[in-house]
Amino acid sequence: MEYLRLGVNIDHVATVRNARGGTHPSPIAAALLAQKAGADGITAHLREDRRHIRDDDITALKEAIDIPLNFEMAATDEMVAVALKLLPNAACIVPERREELTTEGGLAVTGQQVRLSPLIQQLKGAGIRVSLFVDAEEAELRAAADLGADIVELHTGRYCDSPAGNQRSQEYERIAKGAQIAAALGLEVHAGHGLSFETVPEIAALPEIVELNIGHFLIGAAIYTGLEDVILQMRQLMSRARPAK
């Protein structure tokens, strides 16, 4: 099986900082600690309302880290302009509604091809790898491949939120099948949203998935044992679920 990368999302370090409006804790310092602890990439989402990460954070982050930056962004001209200036390793296009607490569902690629296509082409033209954050539905995966996306990130939120049992098994099957379809379409397959120590093993065991992006759980658990410790523990669970060839 291919190596499974861990992308650490540091958005919620900025959430805590912004609660008091100062400079502590620093998402940049957290990203550097994550890098030291073995993260394979750093993910950050510059939201339209700048509720956590801000423009100066994302610029400083790109400068500070030596590992790839995955820039999460809404499909807007404003964010494309930021991405073209920033030149992250990858841009992950996510749906965004101002009133939601977090990214609640995947991007509706079907029905939005005309709007998404020029945007994807601009990003790709600048050498940025394009990822679409989608639900594991065949029609969405096919539409992503047709648009020339390099990567799909499968939304694991519903799987993680379902109580263990039948409902979670059904969600798992959907993600497992989606990962197979996406890989067969030639897409690189990532997954993320809501993953924790409890939910990561099954997702990490899916051989088509090569990257997981995890944020809220890691930043929350870091309050108890520190960021380096939780990243090490997460990496261990991921490796255990995924024996080397």
Q: Which residues are catalytic?
A: 45, 72, 193
DSSP 244: -
Cis peptide before 201 (omega within 30 of 0): no
By beta-carbon proximity to ligand PXP, the closer residue of 8 and 244 is 8
Torsion, CA 13, CA 14, CA 16, CA 18, rounded to 10: 170
Binding site residues, ligand PXP, CB under 6 A:
9, 11, 45, 72, 92, 94, 102-103, 133, 153, 192-195, 213-217
Q: Report, in Å, the least distance between residue 216 CB and ligand PXP.
A: 3
Among candidates 90, 87, 67, which has minimal Cα distance to 6? 67
By beta-carbon proximity to ligand PXP, the closer residue of 159 and 217 is 217
By beta-carbon proximity to ligand PXP, the closer residue of 5 and 45 is 45
Q: Report, in Å, the least distance between residue 13 CB and ligand PXP.
A: 11
Which contiguous run of DSSP H or E holds residue 181? helix 166-184
CA neighbours closer than 13 Å in the CB half-sphere of residue 77: 0
Q: Cβ(191)–Cβ(159) under 8 Å? A: no
